[in-house]
Amino acid sequence: MMDKRTIVIMVVCLLILVGGNYVANWIFPPIPKRPTPATPTHAVSNVVTTVAAATATATNEPTVSSPAPSTTPAERPPEQIVALSNDYLRVEFTSWGGGIRKVELLRHKANGHGHVVLNADAPAPALGLTGLPGADTNAVFTLEPSSPTTMVMRAGQVTKTVSLGKDYLLDARIEGVNASSASVVVGTVGPTFAKEPPLYLNVDWQDGPKWNNRDLNVVTKRAGKGQNREPIHARWVAVKSQYFAMVLTGATNATAVTYAPVVLPPLADWKAKEPPHGVTALAQWPTSVGGVLTFQLYAGPKEYDRLAALGERQQEVMDFGSWMDAYSGLFGLALFKGMAWCHKLAPNYGVAIILVTILLKIIFWPIQAKSIQAMKDMQKFQPQMQKIREKFKDDPQRMNQEMMKLYKEHKINPFSGCLPMLVQLPVLFGFYKVLSNAIELRGVPFLWIKDLSQPDTVATIAGFAINPLPVVMTLTMIWQQKLTPSTGDAQQQKMMMFMPLIMLFFFYSTASGLVLYWTAQQFLSIGQQWWSMRQTTPPAPAPAPKAKK
């Protein structure tokens, strides 16, 4: 019969397999259903408009479109939209609120539907002001392009000048603010593809040495409790999705941040019953002499080198180390750098992941070799251990004492087999963070995999996705277990067979790049296991005969 410990472990494994979805919903609860979009507070103006899309042009000349008049807000003239562009961005400016209506990323395709668009269908334009009657997000600004890449917007005494840089950067200067501080809209982000998890929609800021993060679930809860305004001391505030971000950096530190959930129109490939939700944020900055505010806005992909070059630790939005910060953050950045270096040697990121895995195996080879040798040593003593189990099966305490005595006498570490897994867990978590946030993998194919940032789905049967790579990974884990020296009784060996199933559950819907890493790691471990097991090991010494009385 099974002992109590084995039964408990098997029950826990079964609960993980069966109740995983319930646990996930408890940790990351779904967004509460709302019958209608909530009306934003005074901090985020509710601008509801139906606007005809401006036609993109191939040149950098400003393009102007005059959409149909809107009935809300009341008594406002028709919205005027002027678009400026460079080689990376097409930015639409709006007269309603005098800010950025949306940003089209010309070098990043959406999932089969044009380019990725940031700040689309936002409740207020980015760089809009709140709390300033006559110049806030409800005001009507005039739009005057002063050059192919510079826009001037005026309302009352306030003048906003926004210039496009060479890539994803925009420089903004706001003059004539008749107040000691002003709240500026950072932007709005929503899912860029249908299956993007809500936990990737975030508001971030760097408060001194501390990086702060509020995902969509937290934003929704705090907004419902009226706790969505926080005092901060941060040079920049960002809203971000899984692969893209809008980062607003001020000349001085912001003193407060306000955030709220928003309901957005469905995406082209949206199949869920509930509409997509997003996050919008604004931050309060003190004005300088003359009522001037100066900003730099980054609107683009979450590329580590570009963000790091901004100079205020904006690369923290990559979120390489929010889990097990002391370990996964360190490993995450190192793995990202290693993967980028390997990509210089290989033309494909799938090959780069395999090369990084080989390098990691070389680094951890001595640790795993020592673990394999320890398991082989324990296997030599299995007959003696089995005799102890049989002799003291009715006295567990005495059996454990005799086992520890045997371990101590022959210098056996019964936990050495766990060492490789413990060492690799931070690496696994680090790789998870890297591959979950690295835009470099977005849309990159490898073998039959269409996108390394998504599961390797090859077909769908009755709504169930068929992902072959996690199945291959599971089979390699079972194969490795067959090669591993037996160090426990038959019941414990059967119990360990649940581990591949647990890993299959957790890996089945993750990015195929991560599954590729773990699968390659398993194949390399099988090779090391096979090589190590072929090395001859001296037999265990026979137990010393008891002295005759």
Token duo for residue 442: 């977005």
The residue-averaged pLDDT of 71-84 equals 79
What pLDDT digit, counting tens, does each position of 20-72 carry? Answer: 444 444 444 444 444 333 333 333 333 333 333 333 333 444 444 433 333 34
Domains of the chain: 40-70+77-319 (2.70.98.90), 329-379+415-533 (no CATH)
Q: How far apart are CA 355 and CA 412, in angstroms?
A: 34
DSSP bridge partners of 173:
161, 294
Percent above pLDDT 90 for the chain? 33
pLDDT at 386: 75
Token duo for residue 104: 């089209």
Name the pLDDT band for 321 (thresholds 50, 70, 90): low
Tally of helices (H runs) and strands (E runs) in the chain: 12, 19
What pLDDT digit, counting tens, does each position of 240-275 carry? Answer: 998 999 999 999 999 999 999 998 888 776 777 788
Neighbours of 548 (CB within 10 A): 4
Q: In what helix (H) or strand (E) does residue 478 lie, and over which residues does it extend?
A: helix 468-483
pLDDT at 74: 57
Neighbours of 61 (CB within 10 A): 11
**Closest alpha carbon to 300 in 115, 476, 114, 429:** 115
pLDDT at 239: 95
pLDDT at 134: 82
CA 397 to each of CA 189, 394, 401, 413, 543: distance values in angstroms, whole numbers, following the listed order:
59, 9, 6, 19, 22
What pLDDT digit, counting tens, does each position of 360-404 carry? Answer: 888 888 877 777 777 776 677 777 777 877 888 778 888 878 878
The residue-averaged pLDDT of 130-151 equals 91
Q: What are phi and psi of 427, to 5 degrees?
A: -65, -45
pLDDT at 431: 78
Token duo for residue 239: 């809203």
pLDDT at 259: 94
CA 366 to chain centre: 32
Q: In what helix (H) or strand (E) does residue 155 lie, and over which residues does it extend?
A: strand 150-155
DSSP bridge partners of 247:
238, 298
The CA-based angle 262-263-269, given to 5 degrees, is 130
pLDDT, the chain, mean: 78
Name the pLDDT band for 295 (thresholds 50, 70, 90): very high
Three-state DSSP class for 43?
Answer: coil
Long-range contacts, 89-93 (Cβ 8 Å, 24+)? 89/164, 89/168, 89/170, 89/299, 89/300, 90/56, 90/115, 91/151, 91/162, 91/164, 91/170, 91/299, 92/54, 93/125, 93/143, 93/151, 93/153, 93/162
**Exposure string over 219-240, b if 16+ CB within 10 A, otherwise e:** bbebbeeeebbeebebbbbbbb
Say if residues 191 and 111 touch (Cβ distance below 8 Å). Answer: no
Q: How far apart are CA 424 and CA 463, in angstroms?
A: 34
What DSSP state is assigned to residue 467? -
**Which segments within 322-409 are labelled E, that is strand?**
none
Q: Dmax of the chain from CA atoms?
A: 111
Q: How far apart are CA 339 and CA 316, in angstroms?
A: 18
What pLDDT digit, counting tens, does each position of 479-526 carry? Answer: 877 776 655 555 555 666 777 888 888 888 888 888 999 899 889 988
Q: At what angle do helices 468-483 and 512-533 cross, to 10 degrees?
A: 20
The CA-based angle 423-426-432, given to 5 degrees, is 135
Percent above pLDDT 70 for the chain? 75
Range in 80-89, 98-107, 208-217, 392-401 with the lowest mean pLDDT: 392-401
What pLDDT digit, counting tens, does each position of 152-210 carry? Answer: 999 999 999 999 998 999 999 999 998 889 999 999 998 877 777 777 899 999 887 78
**Is cis: bond before 37, omega within 30 of 0?**
no
**Closest alpha carbon to 521 in 462, 472, 451:** 472
pLDDT at 22: 44
What pLDDT digit, counting tens, does each position of 435-480 carry? Answer: 777 888 888 899 999 988 888 989 888 878 899 999 999 999 888 7
Sheet containing 115-118, strands listed edge to edge, beginning at the edge strand earlier in sequence: 63-65, 81-85, 89-94, 99-109, 115-118
Q: How far apart are CA 426 and CA 440, in angstroms?
A: 22
Q: How far apart are CA 284 and CA 514, in angstroms?
A: 39
Which of the residue ranges 188-192, 291-295, 341-345, 394-398 has the most confident prediction, judged by mean pLDDT?
A: 291-295
